[in-house]
Amino acid sequence: MNKEKPEKRFKNILLEARKQRRGFFWKFISTRSERVIKNLLPLLARINDLEPQISKLSDTQLAAQTPKFKEKISQGATLEEILPEAFATVREAAKRRVKMRHFDVQILGGIILFQGKITEMATGEGKTLVATLPLYLVGLEGKGAHLVTVNDYLAKRDLEWMGPIYESLGLSVGVIQNNMPTAERQKAYNSDITYGTNNEFGFDYLRDNMAIAAEQRVQGKLRFAIVDEVDSILIDEARTPLIISGPAEESSDKYYRVEKLFPQLKGRIITKTKEETYAKGAGKDIEAGYDYIANEESQTVVLTEEGGTKCEKLLGIKSIYDDPRSEWPHYINQMLRAHNFFKREDEYMVKDDKVLIVDEFTGRLMPGRRWSDGLHQAIEAKEGVKIENENQTLATITFQNYFKLYKRLAGMTGTAFTEAAEFQEIYKLDTVVIPSNKPLIRHYYPDLIYKSESEKYAAIVKEIEELHKQGRPLLVGTPSIEKNEKLSKFLERKGIPHQVLNAKYHEMEAKIIAKAGQKYGVTIATNMAGRGTDIVLGEGIAAMGGLHVVGSERHEARRIDNQLRGRTGRQGDPGSARFYLSLDDDLIRIFGGDRLSGIMDRLPEGQEIQHPLITGAIERAQKRVEGRNFEIRKQLVDFDNVMNEQRTVVYDLRRAILEGEDLTEYIHNLLVEEVESGINRYLNPEVKSGEWDLGELCKWVNLTFQILFTAEEMDERNPNLYKERTKESLSKKVASAYQEKQNRLGKELMSNLERNILLQVIDNRWKSHLYDMDALREGIGLRAYGQHDPVVAYKQESYFLFGQMNDAIREEVINYLFKLELVSEEEKEMLGGRQISFVHSEVGSFDEKILVGEKKRGMPVSPSPTPGTKQAPYHREGEKIGRNEPCPCGSGKKYKNCCGRG
Cβ at position 228, least distance to ligand ADP in Å: 7
Q: Which of 40, 108, 129, 176 touches ligand ADP (CB under 6 A)?
A: 129
Cβ at position 94, least distance to ligand ADP in Å: 8
CB under 8 Å to 487, separation ≥6 — which residues? 457, 460, 461, 476, 478, 524, 552
- 124 touching Mg ion, by CB under 5 A: no
State the sign of the Cα–Cα–Cα–Cα dihedral 434, 438, 439, 444: negative
Chain residues 335-374 in contact with ligand ADP, contact rule CB under 6 A: none
Measured CA distances, 660 to 657, 752, 758 (Å): 5, 9, 12
Comparing CA positions, the residue from 895, 827, 751, 889 lying closest to residue 215 is 889
Q: Which of 127, 217, 555, 834 touches ligand ADP (CB under 6 A)?
A: 127
CB under 8 Å to 448, separation ≥6 — which residues? 459, 578, 579, 580, 581, 608, 609, 610
Nearer to ligand ADP, 120 or 754 (CB): 120
Coil, helix or strand at residue 695: helix
Q: State phi, psi for 833 to the nearest 5 degrees.
A: -85, -145
Distance CA(886)–CA(896), nearest Å, equals: 9
Q: Which of 126, 324, 858, 873 touches ligand ADP (CB under 6 A)?
A: 126
Chain residues 479-518 in contact with ligand ADP, contact rule CB under 6 A: none
Distance CA(385)–CA(370), nearest Å, equals: 14
- 308 touching Mg ion, by CB under 5 A: no
- 121 touching ligand ADP, by CB under 6 A: yes
- 100 touching ligand ADP, by CB under 6 A: yes
Nearer to Mg ion, 151 or 862 (CB): 151
Contact stretch for ligand ADP (CB under 6 A) within 101-109, 186-194, 252-260, 618-626: 101-109
Residue pair 496/522 in contact (Cβ under 8 Å)? The answer is yes
Buried b (16+ CB within 10 A) or exposed e, 284-297: eebbeebbbbbbee
Pair type for strands 441-444 and 574-582: parallel
Distance CA(533)–CA(457), nearest Å, equals: 27
Cα dihedral angle (409, 414, 417, 423), rounded to 10 degrees? -20
Cβ at position 510, least distance to ligand ADP in Å: 10
Nearer to Mg ion, 127 or 339 (CB): 127
- 329 touching Mg ion, by CB under 5 A: no
Cβ at position 125, least distance to ligand ADP in Å: 4
Cβ at position 609, least distance to Mg ion in Å: 36
Contact stretch for Mg ion (CB under 5 A) within 125-133, 632-640, 692-700, 807-815: 125-133
Distance CA(484)–CA(178), nearest Å, equals: 28
Nearer to ligand ADP, 48 or 182 (CB): 48
Measured CA distances, 891 to 92, 206, 215, 218, 529 (Å): 40, 13, 11, 10, 32
Residue pair 251/278 in contact (Cβ under 8 Å)? The answer is no
Contact stretch for ligand ADP (CB under 6 A) within 123-131, 450-458, 557-565, 596-604: 123-131
Chain residues 524-583 in contact with ligand ADP, contact rule CB under 6 A: 534, 571
- 128 touching ligand ADP, by CB under 6 A: yes
101 binds, among Mg ion, ligand ADP, none (CB under 5 to 8 A by kind): ligand ADP
Cβ at position 423, least distance to Mg ion in Å: 18
Enter the DSSP assignment of 344. Answer: B
103 binds, among ligand ADP, Mg ion, none (CB under 5 to 8 A by kind): ligand ADP
- 153 touching ligand ADP, by CB under 6 A: no
Cβ at position 554, least distance to Mg ion in Å: 24
Nearer to Mg ion, 532 or 900 (CB): 532
Beta bridge partners of residue 174, listed in sequence order? 194
Cβ at position 536, least distance to Mg ion in Å: 14
- 532 touching Mg ion, by CB under 5 A: yes
Distance CA(733)–CA(818), nearest Å, equals: 13
Q: Using CB positions, name the residue nearest to Mg ion.
A: 532
- 103 touching ligand ADP, by CB under 6 A: yes
Q: Which of 123, 401, 706, 804 touches ligand ADP (CB under 6 A)?
A: 123
Nearer to ligand ADP, 311 or 510 (CB): 510
352 φψ region: left (φ > 0), alpha (ψ -120 to 50), beta (else): left
Cβ at position 104, least distance to ligand ADP in Å: 10
Nearer to ligand ADP, 102 or 217 (CB): 102
Cβ at position 175, least distance to Mg ion in Å: 16
Q: Where are the alpha helices (DSSP H) in 566-611?
A: 586-591, 594-601
Cβ at position 599, least distance to ligand ADP in Å: 38
- 163 touching ligand ADP, by CB under 6 A: no
Contact stretch for ligand ADP (CB under 6 A) within 39-47, 100-108, 146-154, 598-606: 100-108
Cβ at position 125, least distance to Mg ion in Å: 9
Contact stretch for ligand ADP (CB under 6 A) within 97-105, 306-314, 428-436, 475-483: 97-105
Q: Measure the CA angle with vertex 250, ends 248 and 252; round to 5°.
A: 115
Nearer to ligand ADP, 531 or 855 (CB): 531
Distance CA(277)–CA(283), nearest Å, equals: 10
Distance CA(717)–CA(702), nearest Å, equals: 23
Nearer to ligand ADP, 184 or 534 (CB): 534
Beta strands in 574-698 (DSSP E): 574-582
129 binds, among ligand ADP, Mg ion, none (CB under 5 to 8 A by kind): ligand ADP
Give the chain's count of helices (H) and strands (E): 34, 22
Cβ at position 208, least distance to ligand ADP in Å: 30
Q: State phi, psi for 269 to the nearest 5 degrees.
A: -100, 125
Cβ at position 413, least distance to Mg ion in Å: 8
- 124 touching ligand ADP, by CB under 6 A: yes
Number of residues that bind ligand ADP (CB under 6 A): 15
Comparing CA positions, the residue from 514, 465, 460 lying closest to residue 484 is 460
CB under 8 Å to 687, separation ≥6 — which residues? none
Cβ at position 130, least distance to ligand ADP in Å: 7
Nearer to ligand ADP, 106 or 764 (CB): 106
125 binds, among Mg ion, ligand ADP, none (CB under 5 to 8 A by kind): ligand ADP
Nearer to ligand ADP, 185 or 570 (CB): 570
Cα dihedral angle (382, 385, 391, 393), rounded to 10 degrees? -30
Nearer to Mg ion, 419 or 585 (CB): 419
Helices 104-114 and 11-19 sit at what angle, rounded to 10 degrees? 70
Q: Using CB positions, name the residue nearest to ligand ADP.
A: 126
Comparing CA positions, the residue from 290, 304, 306, 370 lying closest to residue 338 is 370
Q: Return residues touching Mg ion (CB under 5 A).
A: 127, 532
Q: Return residues touching ligand ADP (CB under 6 A).
A: 100-103, 106, 121, 123-129, 534, 571
